[in-house]
Amino acid sequence: MKVREIVELFEKSIHELGKMADSLNDGYATFVLNKHINYSNVCESKCPICAYHSDNGFTKSVDEVVREALEAVKLGVKELHIVGSHNPELGVEYFEEIFRKISEKSDAVIKALTATEVYYYSKKEKMSVREFLSRLKEAGLKMLPGGGAEILAERVRRIISPRKASAERWLKVMKIAHSLGIKSNATMLFGHVESYRDIAIHLYRLRKLQEKTNGFVSFIPLLYHPENTKLGGEKASAVKILKTIAVSRIVLDDFKGIKAYWVMLGEDLATLALNYGANDVDGTVLGEKIAHSAGAKTPRAMTVERLVKMIKRAGKIPAERDSFFNVIRCYE
Ligand code: V47
C-alpha cells in the first residue's frame, strides 16, 4: 500500500470505511486491567501540544513509584503503564531500581518509557539505545508503550514537538526494542495541524516497520485535546475521528489491536468506534493524567463492569486480555 492509496481511503464515505474496517475484526472487543503511573512532569522538551509538563513539576522517588505500583497490583491490576517526561535529573539507575523492585514482588507487565524517553535518557547517559534497553529488560521491562510518536512526519513535528526525538529516531528505537524481543505499541496524535497526507505517511511508516519486525502489538489513535496547551486549537469532528480510526485498521491490518482510547474519545465515541475498526478499549486506566491536564472530561478510571457494558452496547463480545492481546476471559 502506497501513501497515495492511504490518502485516497479518506475520500470514501464514513459508512464505507466503517464497513471495510469492521469486517477486519472478529466480533470481540478487549480490555486490560491497567494503571498509569507518571513518575515526573519535569520536562526539557516542553512540547506545544502538551499540557502536562510544568516548570514547578514533581518527581516521584523510586519508593513512591514502587508503592503505587504494588498497591495497584493488590487491587488486581495486570499492566503497569509507567511514563513521564524528559527529566534532566533522572537516568538509567532510577528506572532499573523501579523495574527491579516491582518485578521482585509482582508478575504485572511493566510497560514503560516511550521511545522518545528511551532516546532522551540513553543519550543523556551516553549509552547506546541497545545497551540502555538491554539493562532495563534485565531489570524487568517487558514492553514499550506507544507514546511520543505524535505524527511521524518532520513537517508536523517541527510545529508540535520541535525539541523531541525525530520521527526517524522514534522508529529506530522501536526497531531496536523489537530486535531485543521487547514488544511495543504505537500511537498517533491527530486532530491538530496535520493533513490526511501526514496521517498517511505516519501509518505507512508504521506498516513498513511492522513488516520488518512484527514487534508492534497495538495502535492507539490519540485525539488531540487543546485545553491548557501552547498550540491551542479545536477538537476534531466525530467524522474525522471515526474515519481516522477506520483507516488505521485498514492500513495496520497486521496489528492485533486498534484501541478506542475512551479516556480521550469519551465513552460514547469510544463505543461507536468499536463499529469503525477499533477492537479494544484499552482498560481501567487508573491514574491517567496527561489527557486530563489537556481538558479530557472523562472519568479518572473505569470499572470492569462499565467496560463490559460499553463493549456490549457496541454489539461486540467483551473479553479481558493481557498486554500482548492474548485473551484471558470472555464475558459472553
Ligand atoms: O505521548 C500529549 C499524547 C501521549 C496531548 O501504548 C496528548 O498502550 C491528547 O501514549 N491531547 C500519552 N494527547 C498517551 C499514550 C498512550 C495512551 C494509552 C495507551 C498507550 C499504550 C499509550 O499523549 C503522549 C502524547 O502523544 N498527548 N499531549 C494532548 N494535549
Using the mean position of ligand 1's atoms as its centre, give its distance from the Cα of residue 203 in Å: 17
Q: Which of 187, 202, 219 gets mutated to test ligand 1 (max ligand atoms within 8 A of its CB)?
A: 187
Confidence (pLDDT) at 248: 98
Let me know: does 10 contact 247? Beta carbons within 8 Å: yes
Domain for residue 326, yes or no?
A: no
Output the residue whose Cα is nearest ligand 1's atom 24.
147
Confidence (pLDDT) at 246: 98
Confidence (pLDDT) at 289: 87
Q: What gap in Å lies between CA 157 and CA 176, rounded to an integer?
A: 22
To the question of pTM greater than 0.85 for the whole model, the response is yes
- Alpha-carbon distances, residue 43 vs 54, 145, 190 (angstroms): 7, 18, 22
Q: What gap in Å lies between CA 123 and CA 45, rounded to an integer?
A: 14
CA nearest 118: which of 156, 174, 59?
174
Domain for residue 325, yes or no?
A: no
Confidence (pLDDT) at 55: 85
Using the mean position of ligand 1's atoms as its centre, give its distance from the Cα of residue 149 in Å: 9
Output the residue whose Cα is nearest ligand 1's atom 12.
147
Output the residue whose Cα is nearest ligand 1's atom 2.
50
Q: One digit per residue, pLDDT tens: the chain, 332 residues?
A: 999 999 999 999 999 999 999 999 999 999 999 999 999 999 999 999 999 888 889 999 999 999 999 999 999 999 999 999 999 999 999 999 999 999 999 999 999 999 999 999 999 999 999 999 999 999 999 999 999 999 999 999 999 999 999 999 999 999 999 999 999 999 999 999 999 999 999 999 999 999 999 999 999 999 999 999 999 999 999 999 999 999 999 999 999 999 999 999 999 999 999 999 999 999 999 888 888 898 888 888 889 999 999 999 999 999 999 999 999 999 98
Ligand 1 pocket, residues with Cβ under 6 angstroms: 49-51, 114, 145-148, 150, 185, 187, 189, 220, 222, 224-225, 229, 261, 264, 282, 290-291, 294
Domain for residue 321, yes or no?
A: no
Confidence (pLDDT) at 295: 87
State how many domains the chain has: 1
Output the residue whose Cα is nearest ligand 1's atom 6.
145
Domain for residue 270, yes or no?
A: yes
Is 330 within any annotated ligand binding site? Answer: no
Q: What gap in Å lies between CA 245 and CA 239, rounded to an integer?
A: 10
**Domain span including residue 34:** 3-314
CATH number of 136's domain: 3.20.20.70
C-alpha cell at 132: 540502555
Q: What gap in Å lies between CA 156 and CA 192, rounded to an integer?
A: 9
Confidence (pLDDT) at 284: 93
Confidence (pLDDT) at 46: 94
Domain for residue 101, yes or no?
A: yes
Q: What gap in Å lies between CA 153 and CA 194, rounded to an integer?
A: 9
Q: In what order do the strands lie in the sheet with 216-223?
A: 34-38, 79-83, 109-112, 143-144, 183-190, 216-223, 257-258
Confidence (pLDDT) at 270: 97
Output the residue whose Cα is nearest ligand 1's atom 14.
147
Contacts 24+ apart (CB under 8 A), 298-304: 298/262, 298/263, 298/264, 298/266, 298/267, 302/262, 304/31, 304/33
Domain for residue 319, yes or no?
A: no
Domain for residue 183, yes or no?
A: yes
Using the mean position of ligand 1's atoms as its centre, give its distance from the Cα of residue 332 in Å: 31
Q: Provide the terminal-to-terminal Cα distance of the chain, rounded to the nearest Å.
A: 36
- Alpha-carbon distances, residue 138 vs 34, 67, 90, 151, 173 (angstroms): 22, 21, 19, 31, 17
Domain for residue 310, yes or no?
A: yes
